Amino acid sequence: MAVSPALRTAEVIAVGSELLGTTRIDTNSLYVTEQLSAIGIEVRSKTVVGDDRQSIADLCRQALQRADVVVLTGGLGPTDDDLTRDAVADVVRRPLVEQPAIVERLAARFARRGMSMPEINRRQAELIEGAVLLENPHGTAPGQYLEQDGRTIVLLPGPPRELKPMFAAFCEHVLGSRAGAHRIYRTSLFVTGRSESHVDEAVQPHYAAWRREPLPIETTILATPGQIELHLSLRSDDAAAAALRLREASATLARVLGPDVFSTDGRSMEEIVGALLRARGWRIAAAESCTGGLMLSRLTDVAGSSDYVVGGAVLYSNELKTSIGLVPPELIRAHGAVSEPVAVAMADGIRQQTGAEVAVGITGIAGPGGGTELKPVGTVAVAVVAGDGPARVRTFSLPGGRTQVKFNASQGALDMVRRALGG
């Protein structure tokens, strides 16, 4: 094969009628994009198409006119509506050839499970003439790739657990060496406690300047539940220079945004809080009302969290706030269940019950019912007690529906813990 120029651009075609409905979405392209961009290949467009031979072929043909690499995912199963192999064979005008070695391997795979191979699975042993096999240790559908007029076409199985290891190996061993010296480097910062437009206003002057530099930094702002994410990326053939430039840019943003930046390495809020607790050798407990256990559930999503999470209580009813939460009933009568004094009493009570060094109390109105003029839906009082310090207490006014209020209340509470621990 002649030496081709460096690969620069790619398009992704996801095949499957189920991806054109209302219940399922193509997420394979995110992984494919991540892998390609790590070796400096840019994804220019991505398409979803149904199980229709002609449509797949048309789209593949058009993609080959624009991109160096065309990645097709899905449609490699054994049934009649798995048509990716046939469609690509049509495009390159080559026959499909059954490979006895693959038939044998498929049969052995079925035999290991005490089954004989259904006749329809033979289709999965067909390679387009001249294509190279990509082994699939996680399923029956092998992948394949081929060259046509200097372009590379890759066929990958749809299930993510089969696609991912196959494509990672393909990028490393096949595409990597042909993608040129340029790579795409990335870093991110996560911010909480500010609106997207507030963050945008603070970072735009820097973003604008960086885009005009000789080594331009691509920037995005992304609002996700409970946080604003800033993503920076840089295309370069010099790993050390790229890393340095991204570190500088990240430091600039961290300085501009101050302590509202809680993560500069991709870790989630619950991981950051967990690491701060671990560093101090402190344990945490919580008494949650409107969040219904969500804050403790998020903390325990982190592996190893049993080292620092003691547990706590979900005090949904006022009776439980008093019995398990040790909140004096007269306090609830005087201030209402959603109030700063009750949040502090919940934190104090659960600390007393558990002996944890850090305790959190959360009480609020998640909605849609239960709001009043003085305390509308979204009002959430949070108290944090840590070590010997005074109780920190804050009342949030959170926008959105019930699950959004719950999530943002848990995020606000975790962020108060982070700040109390000096994070």
Burial code (b: 16+ CB inside 10 Å, e: under 16) for 301-312 equals ebeebeebbbeb
Output the DSSP codes for 20-69.
Answer: GSSS----HHHHHHHHHHHTTPEEEEEEEE-S-HHHHHHHHHHHHHH-SE
- Give the interface with its own copies as residue ranges (CB under 8 A): 18, 20-25, 27, 30, 33-34, 37, 43-50, 55, 59, 62, 220, 222, 229, 231, 286, 288-297, 299-301, 303-306, 309-317, 319-320, 323-324, 353-355, 366-370, 402-403, 406
Query: For residues 126 and 283, which CB has a smaller minimum distance to its own copies in the complex?
Result: 283
Q: How far is the CB of 100 from its own copies (least distance, A)?
A: 28
Query: For residues 62 and 148, which CB has a smaller minimum distance to its own copies in the complex?
Result: 62
Q: How far is the CB of 19 from its own copies (least distance, A)?
A: 8
Q: How far is the CB of 188 from its own copies (least distance, A)?
A: 8
Query: For residues 368 and 389, which CB has a smaller minimum distance to its own copies in the complex?
Result: 368
Q: How far is the CB of 168 from its own copies (least distance, A)?
A: 14
Burial code (b: 16+ CB inside 10 Å, e: under 16) for 166-189 equals bbeebbeeebbebbeebbbbebbb
Query: For residues 55 and 252, which CB has a smaller minimum distance to its own copies in the complex?
Result: 55
Q: How far is the CB of 333 from its own copies (least distance, A)?
A: 18
Can you say whether the dihedral through the CA atoms of 89, 18, 401, 406 is positive or negative? negative
How many whole angstroms separate alpha carbon 354 and alpha carbon 183?
51
Q: 3-state DSSP call for residue 409?
A: helix
- Beta bridge partner(s), residue 107: none
Query: For residues 101 and 224, which CB has a smaller minimum distance to its own copies in the complex?
Result: 224
Q: How far is CA 134 from the centre of its chain?
A: 27
CB atoms within 10 A of CB 345: 25
Q: How far is the CB of 113 from its own copies (least distance, A)?
A: 12
Nearest to 8 by CA among 151, 165, 208: 151
Structure tokens belonging to residue 147: 């060259």
Query: For residues 140 and 144, which CB has a smaller minimum distance to its own copies in the complex?
Result: 140
Q: How far is the CB of 390 from its own copies (least distance, A)?
A: 26
How many whole angstroms separate alpha carbon 344 and alpha carbon 280?
23
Query: For residues 55 and 148, which CB has a smaller minimum distance to its own copies in the complex?
Result: 55
